[in-house]
Amino acid sequence: MSKHDYYELLGIERGANADEIKKAYRQQALQYHPDRNPGDKAAEDRFKEINEAYSVLSDPQKRAQFDRFGHAGPTGQGFGGFQDFGGGGFGVEDILNDFFGSVFGGGGAGGGRRPQRGADLRYNLTIKFEEAVFGTEKEIVIPRTATCGDCKGNGAKKGTSPEKCAACNGRGQVSVQQGFFSISRPCGRCGGAGQIIKERCPACSGTGGLRENRPLKVKIPAGVDNGTRMKLRGEGEAGPVGGPSGDLYVVISVNDHPFFIREGADLLCEVPITFPQAALGADIDVPTLSGKKSLTIPAGTNSGQDFVMKGEGVAQVNGYRRGNLVIRTIIDVPKKLNKRQKELLTEFQVLAGESPGPMSRSFFEKVKEFFE
C-alpha cells in the first residue's frame, strides 16, 4: 500500500513553518482521534498516518530527509514509523496531552490533590473625609472560608490521615491506551485527588474548610484617597488541602466634604467675600484642616482669585510632605438691596464716571475691535 504525502495528509504547503505544522496536526488529530470515532478502522488508520506525518515534519532533520528522499529516507529503509516522537524537543505525545487533555479528561504529569493557595478577597470600605485625611482604625467583618481546625485542611477525621490511592499510586491520574498512544485521565477511584479519605472530618464534612465571619481591625493611614487598595496578607480564603490563605484587599472610598475639594494632596476651598472686602481689602477667617486661620485679602481682589496656604493640605501616604490649601475668593453679589444701599451704589457709579475697570475696559475694547 502506497503512503500519502505527509504534507497532503496535514493539508499544508511544503514551505509551512513549525507553527503551521503544529496547528494543522492538532486539527487533524482532533478529527480522527479514536475516542471520537469508536470502531472506525479507517479513522484509526488515518490517525496513525497523521501522527507519523507530524513525527517527521516536526523534526527538522527528518523533514529535510523526507523533502529530499521521500518516504524511503536517506538509507532506503524509511523513517521507522513511531520510533522517535521527539521532534525538536516537542513531541507528538506532548501535543496530545496539551490539546486533548481537557477533551478526554487528561492532565499534566504529577496530578494528585496538592495544597493550593486560597482565593483573594475584596472588601469595599467607605470612610469620612476627615478619616482619610488624618487616618483612623476601622473594624470590619469578613465572610470567608477558613482552614478547618480539626483536620488542618486535609479533610480526614482528627487522628487520621488521607491514604495514598493505590490505583494511581498517588498521581491522581491513570494512563489509558489509545492505539499507539497512552493518554492520561483522572483516576476513577480517587477522582484525581491522589488520596483516599476513609474517615471524613465531621467538622467540615471532608472539605477541609469552614465558613466564618472574621472580625478584623484595619489601620487606615493618613492621606488615603478614593481607590486606595490596602493589602492584608493571609486574610483571604483558606487554601485547599491545607494550602496557604489568599490575601484580602480593602478598597477605600472617601465621602465628600461640605466645602473642601481634594485634588491629590492639595485642597481647594471656595470662600465668599463681599464687594467692599474685595475692593478695599480685608482680613478674613478661612477654614483649614487644623481650624480657622486668618487670611489677608488685598484691595482690588477679583472673584475667582486664588490664595495658596502652603502645608495646609493633606499628608502623603507614607510620606512627610503635606499638600497646600488653595482659597478661591468668590465675590458674593447681594440679590436684595435696601433703599440706602441702592443710593450709595448709584453714587459710587456716578463718582466712577460709569466707566468699567481696567480688566473690563480691555475686554470691551477687544469686543469692539472684533465687530468693526
| Residue 348 lies inside a defined structural domain of this protein | yes
| Residue 115 lies inside a defined structural domain of this protein | no
Please tell me whether residues 323 and 351 are part of one structural domain.
yes
For residue range 180-203, what is the model confidence (pLDDT) as tens digits?
566 777 887 887 778 888 899 999
| Residue 114 lies inside a defined structural domain of this protein | no
Using CA atoms, how far apart are residues 12 and 23, in angstroms rounded to an integer? 10
User: Is the confidence at residue 142, as pLDDT, over 60?
Assistant: yes
For residue range 209-254, what is the model confidence (pLDDT) as tens digits?
899 999 999 999 999 999 999 999 999 998 887 788 999 999 999 9
Please tell me whether residues 267 and 341 are part of one structural domain.
yes
Strands 209-220 and 136-147: antiparallel
Q: What CATH code is carried by the domain that includes residue 338?
A: 2.60.260.20
Nearest alpha carbon to residue 263 among 323, 330, 327: 323
pLDDT band at residue 356 using 50, 70 and 90 as cut-offs:
low
pLDDT band at residue 125 using 50, 70 and 90 as cut-offs:
very high
10 burial via Cβ count (<10 Å: 0-12, 13-18, 19+) = buried
Model pLDDT, residue 72: 64
Please tell me whether residues 235 and 156 are part of one structural domain.
yes
| Residue 111 lies inside a defined structural domain of this protein | no
Using CA atoms, how far apart are residues 81 and 6, in angstroms rounded to an integer? 13
Please tell me whether residues 127 and 248 are part of one structural domain.
yes
Please tell me whether residues 34 and 65 are part of one structural domain.
yes
Here the cell at position 122 is 475584596
Please tell me whether residues 294 and 209 are part of one structural domain.
no
Strand segments, DSSP code E, in the chain are: 121-127, 136-147, 163-164, 173-178, 181-186, 195-196, 209-220, 229-232, 248-254, 260-263, 266-273, 282-288, 291-297, 306-309, 325-331
| Residue 338 lies inside a defined structural domain of this protein | yes
In the chain, the number of structural domains is 3
Cell 501616604 maps to which residue? 317
pLDDT band at residue 286 using 50, 70 and 90 as cut-offs:
very high
Please tell me whether residues 147 and 72 are part of one structural domain.
no
Q: What CATH code is carried by the domain that includes residue 68?
A: 1.10.287.110
Chosen domain end from 201, 226, 254: 254
Please tell me whether residues 128 and 199 are part of one structural domain.
yes
Model pLDDT, residue 82: 35
340 lies in which domain range?
Answer: 260-367
* Averaged pLDDT for residues 46-54: 87
User: Is the confidence at residue 176, as pLDDT, over 80?
Assistant: no
| Residue 299 lies inside a defined structural domain of this protein | yes
Using CA atoms, how far apart are residues 107 and 173, in angstroms rounded to an integer? 8
| Residue 227 lies inside a defined structural domain of this protein | yes
| Residue 116 lies inside a defined structural domain of this protein | no
Please tell me whether residues 355 and 290 are part of one structural domain.
yes
Strand segments, DSSP code E, in 226-305 are: 229-232, 248-254, 260-263, 266-273, 282-288, 291-297
Chosen domain end from 54, 78, 104: 104
Please tell me whether residues 91 and 125 are part of one structural domain.
no
Q: What CATH code is carried by the domain that includes residue 125?
A: 2.10.230.10
Chosen domain end from 40, 75, 104: 104
Please tell me whether residues 180 and 242 are part of one structural domain.
yes
Q: List the single range of 2-6, 166-170, 253-257, 271-275 with lowest mean pLDDT.
A: 2-6
Please tell me whether residues 17 and 49 are part of one structural domain.
yes
